[in-house]
Chains A and B, each alone.
Chain A
């Protein structure tokens, strides 16, 4: 599976959009980009995934660059409950995923 690079931490004001970047320059053509988040002491929670096109669901939007070497997770109106560690993962080789250290997002009032 391709590896990803994320900033270790980010802050966001409550009510504003949170934009979390992820670099995955070695992604292969058939690998998906997945985003998860983990609130303290809980299991990771699936957020969204995509292959080439931008995706949106009730939780977030995913923007993937045309060359697929990077992506951005957008939380349109961040709340205090969105404070968590966000993981960007590429590819699911029979589920043997590599979860790096992720980005710790802190939403501030």
Chain B
């Protein structure tokens, strides 16, 4: 079965420090992968998506970057964190697990980042 992992689950980092969040998917190949950020009490903001190795599309200009070094690995990074980078980061992939011909998005457990 397909599963999606994210780590770490929580992270506290000082302003100006680097960041690396990892997302991996098991049980599928060549998935479309997505990074979202969620501010407290708000909806999800799409940050990046990738349709294949080395292919990254950015949805909003920001202090973050993404990379896809392997088919089932998606990494979110920053060279210098800002206070505004705090939030709940979610990785997702597109799958067809509902027995229909339509795609559905499935989310990982998330990483809660606090920048102090």
Whether A and B are associated in the same complex: the answer reads yes
Chain A stretch 57-98: residues in CB contact (< 8 A) with chain B: 87, 92, 94-98
Residues on A with beta carbons closer than 8 Å to the beta carbon of B74: none
Q: Is A100 part of the contact surface with B, judged by Cβ < 8 Å?
A: yes
Query: Contact string, A25-56, partner B, CB cutoff 8 A, digits 1/0?
Result: 00000001010000001111110010100000
Q: Which of A32, A34, A95, A99 has its CB near the most chain B CB atoms (within 10 A)?
A: A95
Contact B94 A92 (CB under 8 A): yes
Contact A97 B109 (CB under 8 A): no
Contact B49 A95 (CB under 8 A): yes
Q: Is B108 part of the contact surface with A, judged by Cβ < 8 Å?
A: yes
Q: Is B92 part of the contact surface with A, judged by Cβ < 8 Å?
A: yes
**Known contacts being A99-B43, A101-B42, is A43 close to B110, with CB within 8 Å?**
yes
Chain B stretch 12-55: residues in CB contact (< 8 A) with chain A: 32, 34, 36, 41-46, 49, 51
Q: A46-B106, A94-B32 are in contact. List 6 more A-B contacts (CB 8 A).
A: A43-B109, A92-B105, A95-B32, A98-B43, A100-B43, A101-B43
Task: Show the binding face of B for A, using Cβ within 8 Å.
Answer: 32, 34, 36, 41-46, 49, 51, 59, 88, 90, 92, 94, 98, 102-110, 112
Task: Show the binding face of A for B, using Cβ within 8 Å.
Answer: 32, 34, 41-46, 49, 51, 87, 92, 94-102
